[in-house]
Chains A and B, each alone.
Chain A
Amino acid sequence: MAHQILQYMLSGLSTGAIYSLIGIGFAIIYNSTGIINFAQGEFVMLGGMLTYVFLALFDFPLPAAMGLAVVLTTAVGVVFERLAIRPLRNATPLSLVIITIGGSILIRGIAMLQFGKDTHAIPAFSSNEPLTLAGATVLPQHLWILGITLCIIAVNRFFFFHTINGKAMRACSHNRRAASLVGIGVKRMVLISFAISSAMGSVAGIITAPLTMTSYDVGIMLGLKGFCAAIIGGMSSGIGTVFGGLLLGVLESLGAGLISSGYKDAIAFIILLLILFIRPQGLFRKAETERV
């Protein structure tokens, strides 16, 4: 039983790492614009699908294909912000959220027409031989996922706390108006936030594709799970969402193993609802009081 639990935990942590990465993408855009970008899942899909396209159709080596996929997805994120978000800067957050949903359907539709409806696999970064760990097993790809996720989170933290652009973005998230009064280009920060989160989304899509495979419609579910992670973490673009994602992954996996696998997705969404009812500010954040 002990190594069964360990296996559930390990499976949960590796899935959870992905949820975290996607969740942080949600949080970054939310913090700089106040909107939830429901096209985030499509960036994840584009990362995986574009890597496959470069690998299979153009015969690129894996690192080059991955690099190009990240660059292209980031470009899509930037164009999306330019064409769909910026022209409507004075719209209410609600209509912007609806626009992101429309954008996600559009991106998914184009991907379906361009790349077809098939599921595709991309090769693992290193060997496919499982590693044994106290009776449980993991694949080298899981270690890649954990490692790359940690790196990205570290870089992210460095960017937000130790660079001028990162600090400016945090300023925008606290108070947009005040930030623009001290000379921060809020519009530019919004653009950067879209660029960062689409790049992060695509990396999440690429590192999971060797394990989970990819197709034009993987973005929907992954996007929702990432959104759950961000909600649990109180929409923080740091440690809160990372824990949110890991917690979600582990609970899903334990729930599937110990209770019933039929309820796996239900568990995620019950947690989401509970958090929204009981602690809408997230598990790790103090309640904010609005001062007038």
Chain B
Amino acid sequence: MVSVFSSAASAAPPIRIGGLFAVTGPASFLGEPERKTLEMMVRDINARGGINGSRIDLFIYDTQGDATKAVQLATKLIRNDKVVAIIGPSTTGETMAVLNVAEKERVPLVSCAAGIKITQPVRKWIFKTPANDHVAAEKIFSYMSKRKQRKIALLTVSDSYGASGREQLKELAARKGFTLVADEVYSPKDTDMTPQLTKIRGAKPDGIICWGTNPGPAVVTRNVKQLAISIPLYQSHGVASKKYIELSGAAAAEGVILPAGKLAVYDILPKSDRQLKTLREYDQAYRKAFGVEASTFGGYAYDGLLLIVNAIKKSGAAPVSIRNGIEQTRNMVGVSGVFNMSPADHNGLDLSAFEMVRITKGDWVLIR
């Protein structure tokens, strides 16, 4: 009896947390920074003595971006590894496949994918940290309507990111009274978008909105310059990294406007910004550990772990108390934004998660 008490006092049982990321495969640009971020943070938390004296045991599996694998691995995390919460998967498709497992097994899941379907309708055990795509789309539309640009052309990538963006953009455009004059797509591996852009130019839009992740949007940016198109070009938050400017070339990227997650632009944020400290600390720690700049995608995993850790500190380490703790999160300053969860909102981010920026001389400039 005595020995049980003493061991409980000196070493509380570890808290088991699972991660499901597309570390390899086509979505590895998401999964790799997510895995690295999580490993870095857990190492740091354990070095400081864990949460309320319990260390974190982290179980990370590579889904390769495959929904079937994601489901198998989620089941494995819950049944074999007995995790109390899961962070991930990286993509919307995988998350939609894993939802039912987490719901059935009653384990909270904090997805790192942006698709709006994940948290609408709200499911009891499912949360997500990236802002909805339509938040970024709304930013672009409100910018355009201030400048009386009413006719839009879409150029979206034919993967899940682009398809989800295209859906949101079309729906929102119709609701806000924009006219869609061209709706073109390209495949993720396409290397020349001049045919699409030539067609778009013929439709005479007031602005072109491109929705994709690198390298496609960089090719689009180069092609716009090549065709000497003077119509304003808008990109999505998916390219908000210096890599995009590097790939496009500073000259071609000049004047491109996009909604950026704050991490990409923290060094030009006003000092009063609440996230500034978190963003700087995360970026610097990531650079120190891995030698490259932190990405918005890694930030999704950062926020996921932060939500879980805060919930454990507040209400305990059982799955149900973690779930309730996450739902009660208020004013939590994360990388993707300031989270305010509620029973009706399992994402908790609003329009302030993004800043509109213009690329000028190879760098970001805030548009106020």
Contacts and interface: CB of A to CB of B under 8 A. Distances in A.
- Of listed A11, A220, A257, A261, residue having the most chain B CB within 10 A: A261
Contacts of B189: 217-218, 220-221
Given A11-B195, A211-B191, A257-B195, A262 B158 contact: yes
Which of A11, A118, A139 has the most chain B CB atoms closer than 10 A to its own CB? A11
Interface stretch (B244-252, B270-278, B322-330): B244-252
Contacts of A128: 225, 249, 251-252
Given A121-B247, A130-B227, A208-B191, A8 B196 contact: no
Counting chain A residues whose Cβ lies within 8 A of the other chain, the interface size class is 35 or more
Given A256-B196, A261-B186, A262-B158, A213 B218 contact: yes
Among the interface residues A1, A7, A14, A265, which one has the most CB atoms of the partner chain B within 10 A? A7
Given A117-B28, A211-B191, A211-B192, A4 B202 contact: yes
A73 interface: no
Contacts of A253: 192, 194-195
A137 B247 contact: no
Interface in B187-236: 187, 189-192, 194-196, 198-199, 202, 214-215, 218-219, 222, 225-228
B226 A118 contact: no
The secondary-structure label for the interface of chain A is helix
A138 B228 CA distance: 10
Contact of B215 (A1, A213, A252, A257): A213
Interface string B343-354: 000000000000
A132 interface: yes
Contacts of A262: 158, 185
A163 interface: no
Given A130-B226, A139-B226, A211-B191, A257 B247 contact: no
Nearest to B248: A121
A213 B192 contact: no
B194 A7 contact: yes
B219 A213 contact: yes
Nearest to A262: B185
A144 to B, nearest CB: 14
B243 interface: yes
Interface string A122-157: 000000101010000111000000000000000000
B29 interface: yes
Nearest to B29: A117
Interface string B169-193: 0000000000000001111011110
Interface residues of B, number: 33
B196 A257 contact: yes
A254 B351 CA distance: 40
Interface in A263-286: 264-265
A110 B238 CA distance: 28
A8 B197 CA distance: 10
A211 B222 contact: yes
A119 interface: yes
A128, A252, A254, most chain B CB atoms within 10 A? A128
A95 interface: no
A98 B232 CA distance: 48
Contacts of A180: none
Contacts of A132: 228
Nearest to B202: A4
A264 B187 contact: yes
B219 A11 contact: no
Contacts of B184: 261
Nearest to A208: B191
Interface of A: 1, 4, 7-8, 11-12, 14-15, 117-121, 128, 130, 132, 137-139, 208, 211-213, 215, 217-218, 220-221, 252-254, 256-257, 261-262, 264-265
Interface of B: 28-29, 32, 158, 184-187, 189-192, 194-196, 198-199, 202, 214-215, 218-219, 222, 225-228, 243, 246-247, 249, 251-252
Given A7-B198, A257-B199, 4 more contacts: A120-B247, A130-B225, A213-B219, A264-B187
7 contacts: A117-B29, A128-B225, A128-B251, A212-B191, A213-B219, A217-B189, A264-B186
